[in-house]
Amino acid sequence: MTAITQLNPEQRLAIRRWRVRRATTYLIAILLAFWILLPIWLIMTMAFSSAQDVRAYPLYFAPIPFSTETMQFFIDADGILQSTLNSLWVAVLTMVFSTLIATPAGYAISRFVFRGRDAIRLGILAVRAFPIVILAVPLAVIFINLGLYDSLFSLSLLHTALVMPSSVLVISSVFATVPYELEEAAKVFGCTPFQAFLKVIVPLVLPGVAASAIFAFVTSWNEVFAAILLTLQNRTLPAQILFSLDKSGDPFKFAGAFFMLVPSMIFMFFIRRYLFNMWGQITK
């Protein structure tokens, strides 16, 4: 073995240069993470400070002393609990509808080669690009005419249209990761196509489909523009908060922001592996 401790100056320079570059990369990575996390930290500080500390000036930069007073005040505020339940209900409906309708389409697009497949894919993609503001006004008018206005159900119908393209694309990319041979093998061993699907494919795609369902949930939970247009009494949480913005003080806003952030951050953690499924295939 030759000793590797004997380096000529040129090699040393190269190593030093490499180290500097590595350190710079880490520095940039950490700065970018700091840029994302700092505002979240600050709003959490506010949400878990006492009412007195939230109104103090200058503010503290950490939730010390820790207090749930502000958070409690927000949750007890008029209409917050009910609108949270409304939001959950709309999000669950959206999740169920979009998954039920999009799964067969996703399967077809990944498994079959058929005339018009690319057109359908492109059309679905185009829908992804033009949603909410354009859609909300006419749907509100249509729902008023049908007597379906101010209903959580109709709002979930709109949210379903909103997430449908993403659901189809994610689900089709999930199916694409499961080799077709597995399905064939199951059929060879005597399964009907449906049984093969149920017993072999479903367990393999379940995590991916669940990710797409969670994504639908988060999208619906966060959506505010259609929610304020389509509901009057039955407000969802974002609609309720937006309506109360003018009349409410800073503690309400700070706690509300944090309250809305928490579920999305948790859900993003679970679906982070699938983020690229959605966009990987679009750019092909």
Quickly tell me which residue has 């080799």 as its tokens.
Answer: 179
Is residue 138 within 8 Å of 202, Cβ to Cβ? no
Angstrom distances, CA of residue 21 to CA of 8, 26, 35, 156: 20, 9, 21, 50
DSSP 134: H
Is residue 255 within 8 Å of 70, Cβ to Cβ? yes
Q: For residues 26 and 103, give the distance between their C-alpha atoms in angstroms, rounded to a whole number.
A: 41
Residue closer to other proteins (CB basis): 85 or 266: 266
Q: For residues 41 and 180, give the distance between their C-alpha atoms in angstroms, rounded to a whole number.
A: 46
CB of 158 to other proteins, least distance (A): 7
Residue closer to other proteins (CB basis): 7 or 100: 100
Q: For residues 152 and 120, give the distance between their C-alpha atoms in angstroms, rounded to a whole number.
A: 29
CB of 206 to other proteins, least distance (A): 18
CB of 3 to other proteins, least distance (A): 27
Residue closer to other proteins (CB basis): 127 or 204: 127
CB of 16 to other proteins, least distance (A): 17
* Encoded amino acid at 35, one letter: W
CB of 12 to other proteins, least distance (A): 19
Reference 46, options 253, 260, 264, 249; nearest CA is: 253
Is residue 271 within 8 Å of 219, Cβ to Cβ? no
Mention every residue, 6+ apart, whose C-beta is less than 8 A from residue 155.
90, 226, 227, 230, 231, 236
CB of 169 to other proteins, least distance (A): 11
Residue closer to other proteins (CB basis): 200 or 218: 218
CB of 6 to other proteins, least distance (A): 25
Residue closer to other proteins (CB basis): 64 or 275: 275
Residue closer to other proteins (CB basis): 77 or 168: 168
Is residue 229 within 8 Å of 136, Cβ to Cβ? yes
Residue closer to other proteins (CB basis): 76 or 284: 284
